[in-house]
Amino acid sequence: MSPAEKLRAVVQLNAAADAMALAGIRLRHPAASPREQFLRLASVKLGRELARQVYPEIERLDAR
């Protein structure tokens, strides 16, 4: 497998992981807006503390 093929495989696996995580977020939060879904995914991917630093509006999600 060439380096380009390996990179393509990694990109596809990351996209699949994001899609599965978003599906779980949508199941748990069916009324969530696209922005809220994005923020919740960021929290999963970056960890809560870093996500709060990057996206301070995440604090409002926690208050719900």
Instruction: Tell me the pLDDT tens digit for each residue of 15-50.
Output: 999 999 999 999 999 999 999 999 999 999 999 999
Using pLDDT thresholds of 50, 70 and 90, give the confidence band for residue 62. low
Find where tokens 């779980």 sit: 24
Q: Report CA torsion sign: 57, 61, 62, 64.
A: positive
Provide the pLDDT for residue 64.
Answer: 57
Average pLDDT over residues 1-16: 97
Q: How many CB atoms lie within 10 A of CB 52?
A: 18
The domain ranges of the chain are: 3-62
Give the global pTM.
0.83
Q: Decide if 21 contacts 44 (C-beta within 8 A).
A: yes
Tokens of 17: 């992981």
Helices (H), the chain: 3-28, 34-46, 48-54, 58-62
Provide the pLDDT for residue 63.
Answer: 65
